[in-house]
Amino acid sequence: MQLRLLQISGAPPSWRVRLGLAFKGLAADIRTLSASDRENEADDIRKLNPRVTLPILVADGLSLHGSLAILAWLERRHPDVPLFGSTPDAAAEIWQLVMSCYDDFRAANHKLLSVAFASRGELPQAGTTDAQMLEAGAALAHVECRALEARLSDGRPYLCGDLPSAADALVYPETRLIERAVETKAALMRSVGFGDMHGLYPLVFAWMTRLNATPEVARTLPEHWTEKSATD
């Protein structure tokens, strides 16, 4: 069965599916579209998903959209390497973290990173909407990172056990995007307490490093990150 994934490079929903495929050892034909050029609104995409949101996974004539729906389908279709655990207790633990990230971490990062990545790295003027959004997003993101640091203190190599799961697929894009912002918008991120991810959250950093070292995970990184730029 050939899998075809239509994605936005670097967008967390698409990235989650890329990671789910990687964790399961599944190959897919990847087609990257540009949201800024509205390529996701083309007629062929509308036929697959009238809402024109990505990712879309096409398999055996079936078209799926929504990152969690796709991960759930992959789990049923290819159950050998479970993303949602092999016991009810494990599934509950993974789903709780998945939904916490989906609801809370994504919202925090949307505030924080929409300001950071849209800037040239300069700090927004105090009192402006951008400054308030940046500070609010950073405060919430620190809450999420502290919770992850506590979770990883039990010594398990991944967020919910000895193997990466759907929880890792949801959380990794969020933490890796913060790290990317630190790399490219250093002064701005220092101003909201994210200047030293390694020092602040050593267990989270070690977990990210462990995943970064996996070739399958490395291949999911956004293509444009290979071009070193201070303003991307």
Q: Mind listing the pLDDT tens digit for each residue in 114-146?
A: 999 999 989 999 999 999 999 999 999 999 999
pLDDT at res. 229 = 45
pLDDT at res. 127 = 95
pLDDT at res. 224 = 85
pLDDT at res. 56 = 98
Rounded to 5 degrees, what are φ and ψ at 66?
95, 115
| CATH 3.40.30.10, the chain: domain bounds | 3-77
Domain 88-220 class, CATH top level: mainly alpha
Asked if 180 contacts 232 with a C-beta cutoff of 8 angstroms, the reply is: no
pTM: 0.94
pLDDT at res. 230 = 41
pLDDT at res. 51 = 93
User: Which residue stretches of the chain have pLDDT < 50?
Assistant: 229-232
Half-sphere exposure of 202 toward its Cβ, with a 13 Å CA cutoff? 3
pLDDT at res. 1 = 74
In CATH terms, 3-77 corresponds, of 3.40.30.10, 3.30.450.20, 3.40.50.460, 1.10.287.110, to 3.40.30.10
pLDDT at res. 223 = 87
| Closest listed residue to residue 102, CA positions, set 67, 72, 137, 56 | 67
Half-sphere exposure of 70 toward its Cβ, with a 13 Å CA cutoff? 28
The b/e string for 70-99 (b: 16+ C-beta within 10 A; e otherwise) is: bbbbbbeebeeebbbbeeeeebebbbebbe
